[in-house]
């Protein structure tokens, strides 16, 4: 990328973090730099407290505002291929690659869809209406005005948007099935962000589109999720499946497929081996792991969207073909 954005990280000290030295706090809270590196950055004025140049031994007070000029932090490489499928004064629809984070977070800033839209396409302050996982390819909707944001978010929240995904799953998937149930946090493993699906209703003769929550939620944070699936083809050991998520919960498609016994091809967190994700984080995936995954990323593609233009009310329909990497897995499995 020829243009980069300057990253400013700001953090307000909560009461429970007051009383400690600034250097100790930074080294524990922001581990992408060592204590020595933080000391060096303070010596060059890149860290301030309440607008004043900070020193390592400075004692923190509740309400202090830390600011760090984080420009130049090394970021993991991304697949930065993006294509503007539609662009007008109100919204942008993007087709993104299967290895690109949507929004800044952690070590990702300039290597994100958010930054690319600004530096490569001149789209100032893009607001994401839907976000898909870093390893999910396909359609993302971005609004460009407050009015468009309000309208589009209402359409998604009220389920007036039709979303369609294409997936490759392990095994011979049923002809058609719809699942409704609860997505909850899963604290049984080592991965904090992991989720679990508790099915309430699984049938083959309904799509579940307008199905309301049934029964009491299993926990206060449980989220009702409804997903419909249709098998398109079986290719040796895998199936190609079309997916209609009628709700939009974190990891909804992935955990529902896992609960059905047909995990996504290439899914490190909910795939055929629960150890994939931790070995990936430690950079310890073996050649046997990679072969078993079949694809370096999860085989999930946001292929279709249908909604109303936020200003004109015109129906907007977008359809994408299956990306080359997923096609490659199909051809390889069909040949076995």
User: 40: helix, coil or strand?
Assistant: helix
Identify whether 324 is a catalytic site residue.
no
User: What's the chain's Rg over C-alpha atoms?
Assistant: 22
Round to whole Å and give the CA distance between 130 and 303: 13
Intervals of CATH 3.10.290.10 along the chain: 8-69
Round to whole Å and give the CA distance between 190 and 89: 45
- Does the structure show a pLDDT above 70 at 268? yes
What is the rounded average pLDDT of the residues 162-175?
97
Under 8 Å between Cβ of 187 and 201: no
- Does the structure show a pLDDT above 70 at 2? no
Say what the pTM is: 0.82
Helices marked H in 195-234: none
- Does the structure show a pLDDT above 60 at 64? yes
pLDDT, tens digit, 9 for 90 and up, residues 293-306? 999 999 999 999 99
What is the rounded average pLDDT of the residues 63-90?
88
- Does the structure show a pLDDT above 60 at 114? yes
Instruction: Provide the mean pLDDT of the chain.
Output: 91
The pLDDT of residue 305 is: 98
Superfamily for domain range 82-158+301-332: Pseudouridine synthase (3.30.2350.10)
Catalytic choice (133, 207, 289, 325) = 133
Architecture of domain 8-69: Roll (3.10)
Intervals of CATH 3.30.2350.10 along the chain: 82-158+301-332, 166-298
Round to whole Å and give the CA distance between 183 and 5: 36
Under 8 Å between Cβ of 317 and 306: yes
What are 252's two structure tokens? 């909804």
Bridge partners (DSSP) of residue 9 are 68
- Does the structure show a pLDDT above 70 at 159? yes
Round to whole Å and give the CA distance between 248 and 54: 43
Bridge partners (DSSP) of residue 176 are 230
Helices 35-43 and 22-29 pack at an angle, to 10 degrees, of 120
Class of domain 166-298: alpha beta
Residue 11 CB: number of other CB atoms within 10 A?
Answer: 15
Nearest of 195, 201, 256 to residue 229 by alpha carbon: 256
Q: For the chain, what is the largest distance between any 2 Cα atoms, rounded to a whole number of angstroms?
A: 67
């Amino acid at each position: 990328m020829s243009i980069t954005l300057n990253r400013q990280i700001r953090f307000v000290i909560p009461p429970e973090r007051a009383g400690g030295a600034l250097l100790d706090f930074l080294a524990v809270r922001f581990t992408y730099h060592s204590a020595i590196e933080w000391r060096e950055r303070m010596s060059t004025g890149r860290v301030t407290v309440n607008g004043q140049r900070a020193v390592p031994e400075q004692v923190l007070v509740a309400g202090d505002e830390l600011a760090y000029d984080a420009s130049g932090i090394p970021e993991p490489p991304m697949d930065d291929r993006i294509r503007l499928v539609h662009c007008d004064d109100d919204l942008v629809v993007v087709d993104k690659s299967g290895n690109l984070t949507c929004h800044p977070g952690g070590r990702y800033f300039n290597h994100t869809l958010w930054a690319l839209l600004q530096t490569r396409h001149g789209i100032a302050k893009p607001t994401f209406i839907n976000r898909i996982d870093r390893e999910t390819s396909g359609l993302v909707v971005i609004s460009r005005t407050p009015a468009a944001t309000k309208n589009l978010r209402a359409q998604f929240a009220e389920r007036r948007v039709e979303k369609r995904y294409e997936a490759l799953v392990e095994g011979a998937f049923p002809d058609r099935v719809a699942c409704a149930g609860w997505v909850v946090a899963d604290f049984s493993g080592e991965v904090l962000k992991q989720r679990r699906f508790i099915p309430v209703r699984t049938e083959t003769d309904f799509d579940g589109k307008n199905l309301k929550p049934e029964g009491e939620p299993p926990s206060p944070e449980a989220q009702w999720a409804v997903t419909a699936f249709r098998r398109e083809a079986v290719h040796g050991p895998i199936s190609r499946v079309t997916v209609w998520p009628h709700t939009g919960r974190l990891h909804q498609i992935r955990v529902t497929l896992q609960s059905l016994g047909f995990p996504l091809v290439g899914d490190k967190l909910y795939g055929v081996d629960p150890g994939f994700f931790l070995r990936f984080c430690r950079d310890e995936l073996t050649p046997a792991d990679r072969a078993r995954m079949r694809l370096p990323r999860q085989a999930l593609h946001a292929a279709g969207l249908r909604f109303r233009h936020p200003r004109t009310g015109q129906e907007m329909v977008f359809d994408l073909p299956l990306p080359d990497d997923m096609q490659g897995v199909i051809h390889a499995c069909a040949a076995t």
